[in-house]
Amino acid sequence: MKYVHGYNQRENIRLQDQASTLVDLLHSDTFYEDGSEVLEAGCGVGAQTVTLACNSPDAHITSIDISSSSIVEARERIEKAGYTNVCFKQADIFNLPFEPESFDHIFVCFVLEHLEQPVEALKCLKTFLKVGGTITSIEGDHGSTYFYPDNQDSHKAIQCQVKLQKGAGGNANIGRELYPILDRAGFCVIKVSPRMVYVDSSRPQLVEGFIKNTFTAMIEGVRESSINQGLIDPKTFDDGIRGLSRTTESDGVFCYTFFKAIARRG
Ligand SMILES: C[S@@+](CC[C@H](N)C(=O)[O-])C[C@H]1O[C@@H](n2cnc3c(N)ncnc32)[C@H](O)[C@@H]1O
């Protein structure tokens, strides 16, 4: 599978930073009832799994990922945190080893953006959801990035990530499409809520956790491939990164919007 981000150690640390910075924004309304069966599809190294397990201690969570090394890391993370309500399995969303209608709820976060066929993935997942069960999907949308001071080179650097992800079959601007793709996959009662991360210097934790360690780190991560593929020259890219870092100064402002969708199998 071609993949823009997700498999190297630096990226795993970034996903952890992102998850812990955004816990309230993304998870404050995700609680599953006691005894319910929950499937987390594409759990990666368990960055969201920890919060799912913590928020719903009496739900039974099954977390799957196509990458066996990520599953090993996720399992270690959950064991270290002391949660016993998660079981892990290496599996492909397009070929899941479960009985149809096995789950009351499905949670899928930052996965659809990497798939060539997100609607097909959602249709596959729907098979394993009980009628009336919910799917929760969270995705970002790089087109929602704006900041002060504005910087055209920063936008060009961000576009490199968008183009690379598109080249790998994904879509870094998928957040805005959650409603239509869930609809096309046959889900009903679809509710999408935009979750904006707004950062200025009065929120130092977000300056560090989101602008620096999450967003800028992600764009920095595509420097080499962007230059190698001729998408940008080194100077413009580095000036773009400096422009992003500039937004962390005392007068800087940074905005990014995630989209969280909850829908039902009718
Ligand atoms: C960006 S990571 C997100 C991980 C985690 N959900 C999070 O929010 O931190 C995307 C994950 O989707 C997994 N993935 C991609 N395609 C998959 C597939 N067909 N089946 C299962 N997992 C898949 C990748 O291995 C990767 O761990």
The secondary structure of the chain as a DSSP string is: ---SSSSSHHHHHHHHHHHHHSHHHHHTT----TT-EEEEES-TTSTTHHHHHHH-TTSEEEEEES-HHHHHHHHHHHHHHT--SEEEEE-BTTB--S-TT-EEEEEEES-GGG-S-HHHHHHHHHHTEEEEEEEEEEE--GGG-EEES--HHHHHHHHHHHHHHHHTT--TTGGGGHHHHHHHTTEEEEEEEEEEEEEETT-HHHIIIIIIIIIIHHHHTTHHHHHHTTSS-HHHHHHHHHHHHHTTSTT-EEEEEEEEEEEEE-
- pLDDT score for 13: 74
* 27, 49, 65: residue to mutate for ligand 1 pocket, most atoms within 8 A of CB: 65
- pLDDT score for 11: 76
Residue ranges, the chain, pLDDT below 50: 1-3, 6
Residue whose CA is closest, atom 26 of ligand 1?
44
This prediction's pTM: 0.94
Place of tokens 């949670």: 107
List of domains in the chain: 9-265 (3.40.50.150)
**CA angle in degrees (0–180, nearest 5) for 231-147-109:** 75
Binding site membership of 93 for ligand 1 (Cβ less than 6 Å): yes
Binding site membership of 109 for ligand 1 (Cβ less than 6 Å): yes
Binding site membership of 44 for ligand 1 (Cβ less than 6 Å): yes
Binding site membership of 111 for ligand 1 (Cβ less than 6 Å): yes
pLDDT tens, position by position, 148-196 = 999 999 999 999 999 999 999 999 999 999 999 999 999 999 999 999 9
Of ligand 1's listed atoms, the one at least distance from the Cα of 19 is 9
* 111, 120, 128: residue to mutate for ligand 1 pocket, most atoms within 8 A of CB: 111
Of ligand 1's listed atoms, the one at least distance from the Cα of 115 is 16
- pLDDT score for 6: 47
Binding site membership of 117 for ligand 1 (Cβ less than 6 Å): no
